[in-house]
Structures are given as structure tokens and as C-alpha cells.
Structure 1
């Protein structure tokens, strides 16, 4: 089901596999709701995936299972759960760069990449670690040439941006499974990367959350409460997050669904072609892999388009569904 808004003039232009760690930061709920309301993409299936071991968002050993529950709650809130397929991801990172987690999710990724009954290009939209994609590539390396990864993750490139104040250790999504990122980057797959300096720019104000999200029916209220739960949680431990929230996963929508009409591309967001680096075991970038094609590294996302489109679609959904 690709057109929840029932727009007869808008047809899918791409397929998207959505991989996110739904038991973590709820920015993925905003991204997923936005993707669901974007009829130019056909969502092949969802991969609810794991976090880092002991992650404060979810310190259990069943993070992917918990992620699936959160995703199903969002789909149920919208009343569309029966229309979409979920393939739960692995509960743990790969053990090394040669050994996949042979899960139904990995096999589903391979099957979708191998499809010959459609000409729609395939994007793998990941707002988390890359365990399941890496596992699929290890099982069948030939699928690398059959899809494009859009990944929210990785640290700043030193020549493009400095790290944020107080940053230490590997970037959050990379830390989930560094070996998996190493596999994916070494595969030669086309990569559109949104590193930390770019995804940190996608800021939604609390006023916008209240006025433009929370007022928009059952779905908007649910999303507002999800973000406010983080504000309450952090406040209890004495951490003041201020009046903005980074919707860091929302570029997954901008770059896949909100492309230009002619010469389709994310024309309003800015990127550079960066020589493909090797990812070191500590999560930093190493030497350039000259035998593989460069990657797109996004430096600025069109926030105006991203949020204006999201607010409008929420309003239209609330009008028809409450």
C-alpha cells in the first residue's frame, strides 16, 4: 500500500526498505510516519533493528523485538498495520566482517534486491546500525549493485566539519555495529551518507511540535507525546535539552521521497562527492579506497521542505482520519 493519502496524480517512483532502531530515540517515529504518508515511495518492508549493547534507550537483550513492538504501535495508531510487512532484524551485531547474521530480514533484503518484476529503484533507508544490510551483503555480495543505501550515521569528515562540542567515541549509529559499516562501505554499494554534522541540523522546535504536530489528530498527538516523554525522562536526571529536538532520521524521507520533479534527485539538499574511506575499528575514517566509487556525503538538508511537507501531510491525514 503506497498511497495512504489517496492522491491519484502521485505514483511511486522508488521502493524503500526502512531500517530503524525503534526502541531508541523517537525521531524515527516522525520519519516513519512521514514516509508512510509519502506516496512517491513504495515501502517494501520494515526492518526493526537493534541498538548498541547496554544502550540507555533500551538496555535489554531484545532490542529488535522491542523495536518491532514500538513500530507496530505506530502502525496501529494510524490503522495501517495490516498493510505493511515487518521483518525483524538481528538482536546483535555481526561478530566479524566475514560472518553474517542469517536472519529472515537479511534474506528479505536479498529477495527484494533481486526482484525483476519492477523497474522502481531500491533505496535502503537506515536510521540505525547496518547489521542486517551487511549480513545480506555477506550472504549475497551481488546485491550491492542493485540498491542505494541512504544512511543516517558516521562522524564528521575532518575536511568538511568539526565534531560537536563534547563528542567522544564513535558516532551513535556507527557504534551500533562498526563491523557492519565496514562491510557495507567495502562492498562498493552506492551510498548517500548523512553524517552527524548534517543530521544534527534537522531541528524541530518545541513550539512547532505543539502547534504543527500535536494539534493534528491522533497521530500528531502520539508523536508529540513520544518526544515529550524524552523531555520528561531527561529532566528527571537533571539534563535540560532545551526547546529543540533533532529529527535526525527525517532526511531519509527528504532524500528518497521528496526528490525533484525533473531529473529526479534530492536537488534542494547539498552534498559533496567524497572519496570512499575505510572505516577503522575505532569508528574513525581511514585511508581512501580508490578502487571503489566515491560516496555522496550530505552537508545540508532542506529543512524547509522536510518540515513543511511533514506538517501538511499530518494535517491532511488528521482531516480524513482524526
Structure 2
């Protein structure tokens, strides 16, 4: 993609995006923002699964959504797309096969001095699988993960729920890891009115980003929540519909995946702390048990910086 300005080559980074793009509506905003960013040499985008709570083809749906975004932006021939794992790790010792994991290994092991970052917007399955297949990647890349419950106790969190085993593999690995947990990524609060003014008018992709969010609001109420309740019922579980009625709220959203862009533009030096990696229980709580393996845990993301950068890049690219 041709950008309206450039930066020194020495300031650029290689980036792989791993995304459950069709799970909900925020991943596409982060993908588009990254594609419009001159600092990033995007080497590939991997479609990720998002569990089976409403579909049995979640990875393929994510893959198809990435293909659709690239087609709208006329970048189909510029950015390769790969298929990630179709399901979570069965345990912490057994990798699952995916071309996404293989691609991470391939890119990490290249003789390229440009720093490599791999950003995970959903479950961290493909990173764990790649590491188990080739542990040497730990010295070749830095991983960012949008996921995990609020620090320091933990709680239910969707990306984590879809592969707790993979999170534990990554946490006990030697991979440099930046974690943006729920209490940090939910700072990315935005209203639909703000997106209607700052995103919708800018190109076919701006209109698409806005409309797919509007559509998801209705689909969640009319299709997805009933599907979740029905699947749970078939599995022998009863879900109170009222417990699912608070989200989405209707006129606002959390663009929770967008920090992958702003943190790679500026790492928010005072927005994180280095913490010993915990172990994660089946109920998604953190067990703090060691003090040697350290990870970067974010407690703050600058939403104004993030959103204004996205709005500006849409306008720069799509105002004639």
C-alpha cells in the first residue's frame, strides 16, 4: 500500500496479525488501522478460531473476513492470508497443526534484521503451537496478546476461554510477551456516533467497518445469543438469557483489539509493568507462583492517541 508519508527504514518493523476476525466487530478496525500504518511491514494475516459457542467453522469465517477486508482495500495481492488452527490445544504438550503456526516459524527463522512482532487478537493457539514445534522462535520475535482477565486476579475473558492451554504454554515459554488484559483493552471505549463521523465517510472500507459493527449489534440480539442458548441446551447446560443481555450495550463499543497498533507505534512506557507470569486455572484465575519468567502486563492504553491515529489515517488515505 502506498502511504501519504514515509518513515526511516530503520524505524520499521515486521508484523504478523493473528485474528479471530469474524468473532465480533472490533478486529476489522485493528486490521485496517494496521494496514494503513507506514511503520508496519505486514508479512501476513492469520485467521484464528474463536471456539464453537455459535459456529463450527470459526477459523474459516475469520479467514474469509480477512480476505474480504483485503479485497475491499484492494490489497489482495499485497498481503498473504493463512489459516490458523481450527480448534484449541488439547493439552499443554500437544501442538495442533496449522499453516499459520508454520508461517510464524518460517518468518521468525528468516535472516532478517528487521524486528518481528506477532499480534494476537483472539486465542493464542498458533503461537503456542509454533513454539512447541520450534522453540528457537522465542529468540526471534515479540508477541502481543489482547487477552486474559483483569490483573492481578483474573476472571472470565473470551480470548482466554478459547484456549487456556495455549495461554499457559505462552506464559511459561521464553517468548518476549506483551499482555493487554481485559482491564486495559476495555479502555478503548467509543460511541457509534463518533465512528459515524470519523470512520463511515472514508472510503468503501470506512463504510464497511461502520456497517459491520451496526450489523453485529443486531445479529448479536437476533441470531447469536439464541444460538448460544440453543447450543448450551443441547450440551446439557442451561443459560439464563438475562445473563447475556448486557452486551453489546447498543450505542457504544470497545475497540479492544486496536491497542496492537498504538502500542507498536509507542510502547506506553508508563502504561505497563514487568510481572512474573502466572499460571491460569480452568476458571481463568491467575495463580502467581514464580518470579523468574517475566512478561509485560499493560494496565493502560491511550485511547485518544489510538483512535485519533486511526481516524487520521483513514482521512489521509480516503479523502481525495
Q: Is the TM value for this pair above 0.5? A: yes
Residue 115 of structure 1 corresponds to: 110
Q: TM-score, normalization: structure 1? A: 0.87
What are the within-5 Å matches in structure 2 for residues 224-243 of structure 1? Answer: 224-236=210-222, 241-243=249-251
Q: How far off its partner does 1:6 sit? A: 4.5
Residue 291 of structure 1 corresponds to: 292
CA contact (8 A) 2:120 2:146 kept: yes
CA contact (8 A) 1:22 1:48 kept: yes
1:158 to 152, 155, 175: 152
CA contact (8 A) 1:268 1:301 kept: no
Residue 302 of structure 1 corresponds to: 302
Count, aligned residues: 297
Q: How far off its partner does 1:268 sit? A: 6.4
The answer to whether the aligner puts 1:124 opposite 2:118 as a matched pair is yes
CA distance in 2, matches of 1:92, 1:15: 27
Instruction: Return closer, same or farther for 1:268/1:286 CA change in 2, 3 Å cut-off.
Output: closer
Q: In angstroms, what is the RMSD of aligned CA positions?
A: 1.8
Residue 86 of structure 1 corresponds to: 81
Instruction: Return closer, same or farther for 1:205/1:252 CA change in 2, 3 Å cut-off.
Output: same
Structure 2 portions without partners, runs of 5+: 226-244
What are the within-5 Å matches in structure 2 for residues 68-83 of structure 1? Answer: 68-83=63-78
CA distance in 2, matches of 1:151, 1:271: 14
Deviates more, 1:234-243 or 1:64-73: 234-243
- Is the partner of 1:125 in helix, strand or coil? strand
Structure 1 portions without partners, runs of 5+: 164-168, 260-265
CA distance in 1, matches of 2:270, 2:206: 26
- Is the partner of 1:274 in helix, strand or coil? strand
CA distance in 1, matches of 2:58, 2:99: 16
Q: How far off its partner does 1:10 sit? A: 5.2
CA distance in 1, matches of 2:270, 2:259: 9
What are the within-5 Å matches in structure 2 for residues 1-322 of structure 1? Answer: 3-9=1-7, 11=9, 13-54=12-53, 59-116=54-111, 118-158=112-152, 170-236=156-222, 241-256=249-264, 258-259=265-266, 266-267=267-268, 270-292=271-293, 294-320=294-320
CA contact (8 A) 2:59 2:85 kept: yes
CA contact (8 A) 1:179 1:281 kept: no
Deviations 1:198-245 (A, max 9, x none): 111101111111111111121111111011112223454776614221
CA distance in 2, matches of 1:287, 1:307: 34
Q: How far off its partner does 1:281 sit? A: 3.0
